[in-house]
Amino acid sequence: AAFVPQGNLRSQPSEVSFGAAAVQTGVSSIPEAGTSQAALGLFGLTVAGLAASASRAAASRRQPKVLRRNQFFDNGGITATGICAPFPDKFDPLKLANTDAKMERYTAVEIKHGRVAMIATLGYVVPELFHFPGCENFTNGLGALNTMPVEGWVQMVAFIGAHEILVKPRAAGMGAYDFGFGTELLDGADAVEIQRRQTAERNNGRLAMMAIFGMMWQDGTFGMSPFALMRETGLWGPNIDFIIKDIPMCAGGSMCAVKPAGTRVARSATALHAEATEEPRMSLALPYLRYPEQLDGWAGGEKGFDPMNITMALPVYWCREAELKHGRVCMLATVGWIATDSGLRFAGDMFQNVSTIEAHSKMVEAGVMAPFLAAVGVVELYGGWLTLNGFEERIKRDA
C-alpha cells in the first residue's frame, strides 16, 4: 500500500489515500443501510483532528522563547555564534580558517577590528556635538590628522601601546577576545542569551567597519566629514558630476544625475530633426545595430562590436583595461591547463599526481593558496595603480 502503482495514475483506481479521502473511500464501501453510522464516524474523526491541531498549536505557543531562539542560534547542537542568515555556516569560501587554531585567531581579529571600528565611528560622530577642553580647534574627521598637535599624537600612541602590551585576555575566559570588560552584564544570563549578545557584538562591529570606511572615503573625497558636508550642501550632498563625467551615456543625456543643457522641448526637437535628416551609422560587426560612437578612435573600435551597449554605461578606457586583463588571465589559464594535462609539474611532492580538476582543492589543503593569492594581490594593486593613473592621464597607456 505504500508504493505507487506503475502506469497512468489517472486511469487507475485510488486504493490508498490519507485523511478525509481515506474515510470517504471507506464510506463508499459501506452498504447504503449504514450510511448514517459512517457519517457519524466521519464527523467524529474530523472533530478529533481539529482538537489535535488545536492542542499542538497551544503547545507551540506555550513553548518558551529560549527554545525557539536556541533553534535559531544552535541548529542541531552546532555552535553558531556570529553566524546569521543568509549564511547557514561560517563564511569562509577560501578556507582560510581550515583549522581550529586559525578559526580562533581570525575570530579574535574580527572582533578586535569590529571594536576599533565602533570606537572610530563614534569618534566621527561625537566631535560634531562635543569637544574636550583644549580641543575646540581640532578639525573633525580626517582633518584631525593635520590639526592635532604632537602632544596629542604622543598621548594616543602611548595609550594604544599600553593597552596592546599590558592588557591581556583574562584567565579561563571565552577566548583571546575576552579582556573582562563588561562581563558583569553577562551575570545571570543563560548560554543562549550569551550567545545572542556575542553575535550582536560581532554584527555591530561588522556594520561599524563598513560605516567607518564609507565615512572616511566621503571625507577624503569631499575634504570634510559627512556631517559637515551635510550642513554645508544639504541632505542630498554636493554635485558629483566629476564622478560620472566620463560615462558616455551621462554626457548630455537624461540617464544620469547631470543637468542637460537647454530645455527638454528644444532637446527633443533637435534629436528628432537629426534622426530625420541624417542616415544612422550602422555597426560593421552587427549591421542591424547602430554604431557605438564612443568607440571611435579606439583600437578595434572601428568594427563597432558592443551589442549590449556596455561602453554607454562605463568609460571605454575601463572596458578596454578589463578586456585586456581578462584576455591575459584566460591565456595564462589555458596554458596552465594544457601544461598540467601534458604532465608538466613544479618540483615537490605536493604538485605530483594532481589533475587540473583537483588542483584547487589540493593546493588549499597544502596551504599554497594563501601565498598564491598574496602574489596575485600584489599584481592587482600594481595593475590598479597603473589603471587609475592612466585614466587620469598621469602616465601614457594608449591602447
pTM of the entire structure? 0.46
User: Residue 157: is its pLDDT beyond 90?
Assistant: yes
User: Residue 263: is its pLDDT beyond 80?
Assistant: no
According to the model, what pLDDT value does residue 70 have?
Answer: 43
Q: Lowest-confidence range among 30-39, 238-247, 345-354?
A: 30-39
Mean pLDDT to the nearest integer, 160-187: 81
Confirm if 43 and 31 have CB atoms less than 8 A apart: no
**Joined grid coordinates for residue 329:** 588571465
User: Residue 209: is its pLDDT beyond 80?
Assistant: yes
* DSSP structure string for 321-386: HHHHHHHHHHHHHHHHHHHHHTT---SSGGGTT--TTTHHHHHHHHT-HHHHHHHHHHHHHHHHHH
Residue among 170, 173, 212, 211 at smallest CA distance from 194: 173
Instruction: Pick the more confident residue, 364 or 209.
Output: 209
Residue-wise over 114-146: b if at least 16 C-beta within 10 A, else e? Answer: bbebbebbeebeebeeeeeeeeeebebbbebee
Residue among 239, 381, 390, 394 at smallest CA distance from 315: 390
Average pLDDT, the chain: 74
282: three-class secondary structure by DSSP? strand
User: Residue 93: is its pLDDT beyond 70?
Assistant: yes
**Joined grid coordinates for residue 178:** 575576552
What length does the chain have? 399
Mean pLDDT to the nearest integer, 113-128: 91
Instruction: Pick the more confident residue, 367 or 256.
Output: 367
Share of residues in the chain with pLDDT > 70 (%): 70
Instruction: Pick the more confident residue, 251 or 105.
Output: 105
User: Residue 24: is its pLDDT beyond 70?
Assistant: no
According to the model, what pLDDT value does residue 275 have?
Answer: 54
According to the model, what pLDDT value does residue 272 have?
Answer: 53
User: Residue 16: is its pLDDT beyond 50?
Assistant: no
User: Residue 271: is its pLDDT beyond 80?
Assistant: no
User: Residue 71: is its pLDDT beyond 50?
Assistant: no
pLDDT digits (tens, 9 = 90+) for 326-341: 999 999 999 989 988 8
Q: Lowest-confidence range among 8-12, 117-121, 305-309, 351-355?
A: 8-12
The C-alpha angle with vertex 116 and arms to 114 and 121, in degrees rounded to 5, equals 90
